[in-house]
Amino acid sequence: MSTTTHAVEEIAETQALPHGHPPLNVVYEWLTTCDHKKIGLMYIGYALIFLLVAGVEAMLMRIQLAIPNNHFVSPQVFNQLFTMHGTTMVFFVGMPILFGFGNYLVPLMIGARDMAFPRLNAFSFWISAFGGLLLYFSYVGASGLYAAGSAPDVGWFAYAPLTAKVFSPGHSTDYWTLAIFLSGVGSIGTALNFVSTILCMRCKGMKMSRMPLLVWLYLVTSCLVFVAVSPLTAAQIMLTLDRYLGSHFFDTQAGGSAVLWMHFFWIFGHPEVYILVLPAFAFVNEIIPVFSRKAIFGYPAMVAASVGIGFVSLGVWAHHMFTVGLGATANSFFVFATMVVSVPTGIKIFNWLATIWGGKVIFATPMMFCVGFLFQFLIAGLTGIMLSVAPFDWQLGNSYFVVAHFHYVLVGAILFALFGAFYYWYPKITGRMLSETLGKWHFWLFLIGFHLTFDFMHIPGLLGMPRRIYTYEAGRGWGGWNFLVGIGAVIQAIGLLVFVYNLVRSYFKGQEAGHDPWDAWTLEWSTASPPPAYNFAVEPSVNSRRPLWDLKHPEDPDSDYE
């Protein structure tokens, strides 16, 4: 055993030999790295930068909408803002940040030294990153900054035929198409990597039935990426063919079909929500048990529910198309499928509740964000059930009610879980704790801002305000609500800045974390913080779902009960 350790340390030392002089060698190292942890961190850093950019876009929109008949930005700029905000948040914040955490955590949690295909991993990151840069180059390209460039303005779901050359001349749509294409290639590569890693690289004793739930959820998410992202990526090529080589897939003026694009987009678009939310479930699955000091309740049911959500989510896309006129039979099918998703989702919520039940809940910042997640996800799920009722959707689809609903999922659930994950794993990644005081400030500011924004955003929707309008008349009764929503956005922005400050400050001044600051039970806490390049000096060997529990409680190990 000790010989292995020596050999590994020697390898690590050879790898650490500098190429060139600082700081160039550091840059060189990051640019050429194939280490899953470094790639994971690059994903997270890149996503955080885009989070701030897309957040600024959201703020500009809220300023424009705060009062009726506002002239803060022109209609064209506004249309570009919501297109860029949506596209960025989904493709260049949500996906990369979740892939980043997955990259960092999955190999550590299954006791592996890296992903199955480290070079593919680096390729996937760089190609996605290039997609994001290309999308934003549209602001500088073409007519330049003075004319606010030619940023895409077709909406994040870019309905055909608005994207046809006739209706969208110039290159703005091409920037969008190519950026999504590149991001799609990267996502599929990463998904392939996750599946291979999880299936082939588990350490000794880590049967599928002993994997941490986080790993299970990344497996399901990756499978969803295959099925959902591939059609979207293909559709980008079809759209480009339409625009430049005279094909007519979506070109309605030559007999193409606008509805075809909707199907292509939403067979991606709805599973995409689950691609984003399943990793959020994954974080919560790890955090709630540790801070309740109890094993997760109903592990097999949780796995079944995750896989179930994955399957059912592939059959719900046309609930985005209830107003297209698909007919009563098709509509009823998608109503049913959409409602059925709530069953496995409900099982998850109940199991989290049961995990808390009878525990000793410690309200550290990660747990507080998870409680916020649970509460908001419950509401988001219930407004989701309301929207799944097609007649309700005929009224409220594409209104601000829908905008509020999906931001409840994306911000209230996913972003809250992500913040929890940051506070929980930051000590592992940097070796230092994030400040709890600043964390509490961040939590409360963000919680209040969130509710101010997104609770009140439901109301103009109920009053008939459609989404994606750059302004509205004073007489419609939407003004006051939008003003409140704007105030909430400012409070959220302050909360976010506190978080960023906390990330930076704690890196230098945070309290030392040690291996296992939370007294947790999964494998990543058994190695140093930050983990060495080779992760584990010796390949771990596990006997249960909570290997560190077994070590800490030899008198009452989990392995006795499984």
Structure tokens at 72: 């803060």
Listed ranges 90-98, 118-126, 327-335, 423-431: which one lies at the site for other proteins (CB under 8 A): 327-335
Q: How far apart are CA 27 and CA 204, in angstroms?
A: 36
Listed ranges 34-42, 149-157, 406-414, 427-435: which one lies at the site for other proteins (CB under 8 A): 149-157
Cβ proximity to other proteins, 237 vs 385, nearer residue: 385
Cβ-Cβ contacts under 8 Å for 2 (sequence gap 6 or more): none
Listed ranges 203-211, 239-247, 338-346, 414-422: which one lies at the site for other proteins (CB under 8 A): 338-346
Q: Which of 20, 144, 246, 391 binds other proteins (CB under 8 A)?
A: 391
Q: Which of 159, 249, 501, 534 binds other proteins (CB under 8 A)?
A: 159
237 binds other proteins (CB under 8 A): no
Structure tokens at 401: 């009610």
Task: Please list, residue by residue across 179-206, b when 16 or more beta carbons sit within 10 angstroms of its beta carbon and e when fewer do.
Answer: bbbbbbbbbbbbbbbbbebbeebbbeeb
User: How many residues in the shown chain lie near other proteins by CB under 8 A?
Assistant: 89
* Cβ atoms of 223 and 121 closer than 8 Å: no
Cβ-Cβ contacts under 8 Å for 526 (sequence gap 6 or more): 515, 516, 536, 540, 547, 548, 551
Cβ proximity to other proteins, 211 vs 371, nearer residue: 371
Q: Which of 245, 300, 508, 509 binds other proteins (CB under 8 A)?
A: 300
Q: Which of 196, 471, 543, 559 binds other proteins (CB under 8 A)?
A: 471
336 binds other proteins (CB under 8 A): yes
252 binds other proteins (CB under 8 A): yes
459 binds other proteins (CB under 8 A): no
67 binds other proteins (CB under 8 A): no
Listed ranges 26-34, 95-103, 119-127, 469-477: which one lies at the site for other proteins (CB under 8 A): 469-477
**Contacts to other proteins from residues 368-387, by CB under 8 A:** 371, 374-375, 378-379, 382-383, 385-386
Interior angle at CA 358, CA 354 and CA 363, nearest 5: 90
Cβ-Cβ contacts under 8 Å for 159 (sequence gap 6 or more): 258, 261, 262, 265
Q: How far apart are CA 495 and CA 415, in angstroms?
A: 13
Cβ proximity to other proteins, 132 vs 256, nearer residue: 256
Sign of CA dihedral 10, 121, 496, 57: positive
**Contacts to other proteins from residues 69-88, by CB under 8 A:** 74-76, 79
Cβ proximity to other proteins, 6 vs 207, nearer residue: 207
x-marked contacts with other proteins along 84-123 as a string, rule CB under 8 A: ----------------------------------------
DSSP 8-class letter at 556: S
DSSP 8-class letter at 154: S
Cβ proximity to other proteins, 96 vs 372, nearer residue: 372
Nearest distance from residue 44's CB to other proteins, in Å? 29
DSSP string, 41-57: HHHHHHHHHHHHHHHHH
Residue count (the chain): 562
353 binds other proteins (CB under 8 A): yes
x-marked contacts with other proteins along 253-292 as a string, rule CB under 8 A: x-xxxxx--------------------------------x
Q: How far apart are CA 85 and CA 79, in angstroms?
A: 10
Can you tell me whether residue 399 is helix, strand or coil? strand
Classify residue 398 by burial, with Cβ atoms within 10 Å: 0-12, 13-18, 19+.
Answer: middle
469 binds other proteins (CB under 8 A): yes
551 binds other proteins (CB under 8 A): no
DSSP 8-class letter at 204: B
Nearest distance from residue 351's CB to other proteins, in Å? 8
474 binds other proteins (CB under 8 A): no
Partners of 16 in beta bridges: none
153 binds other proteins (CB under 8 A): yes
User: Cα–chain-centroid distance for residue 86?
Assistant: 13
Cβ-Cβ contacts under 8 Å for 552 (sequence gap 6 or more): 519, 521
Q: How far apart are CA 218 and CA 280, in angstroms?
A: 10
Nearest distance from residue 43's CB to other proteins, in Å? 30
Nearest distance from residue 189's CB to other proteins, in Å? 32
User: Cα–chain-centroid distance for residue 120?
Assistant: 21
Structure tokens at 342: 């709530």
Interior angle at CA 213, CA 34 and CA 420, nearest 5: 75
Cβ proximity to other proteins, 393 vs 524, nearer residue: 393
356 binds other proteins (CB under 8 A): yes
**Contacts to other proteins from residues 163-182, by CB under 8 A:** 167
**Contacts to other proteins from residues 477-516, by CB under 8 A:** none
Listed ranges 44-52, 348-356, 414-422, 451-459: which one lies at the site for other proteins (CB under 8 A): 348-356
Listed ranges 49-57, 134-142, 250-258, 418-426: which one lies at the site for other proteins (CB under 8 A): 250-258
